Amino acid sequence: MTEKLFAFLKGKDMDGCTIPRKKRPRLTADQAWTVIWWLGNQYWQVTDHIERCEVCGEIYETWSEGDTLDYGGKPYSFCGNCVDGEEYAKKLKRRPKSEAV
């Protein structure tokens, strides 16, 4: 449902949608994510374990995939596909010694 909301906020066609095209929102991916984040943090309609990958932009469920490395600069959030990528490997190399596993 969160992915459908994300697509809707970006102006994508939705099955069964009766809202005229000119009246649909057309937010950027960053703006749409901000709406979803706010809903999740303020009203819990979107669970707090939904995140957006800061590498590829995909939405993912943190309980089943991905990782967050909250030190250094962006990117911080990585989906399941991007944890195998170059950006994630570079970020791991910058991990503080106090956090090393």
Q: Quick: pLDDT tens for 64-92.
A: 999 999 888 889 999 999 999 999 999 99
Q: How far apart (Å, rounded) are the C-alpha atoms in residues 52 and 36?
A: 10
Give residue 79's pLDDT: 97
Closest CA to 87 of 50, 57, 48: 57
Q: Which is more confident, 42 or 101?
A: 42
Q: How far apart (Å, rounded) are the C-alpha atoms in residues 79 and 52?
A: 7
Q: Quick: pLDDT tens for 20-69.
A: 888 889 999 999 999 988 888 876 666 778 899 999 999 999 999 999 99
Phi, psi of 25 (to 5 degrees): -65, 150
**Domain spans in the chain, listed from the N-terminal domain onward:** 1-48, 51-101
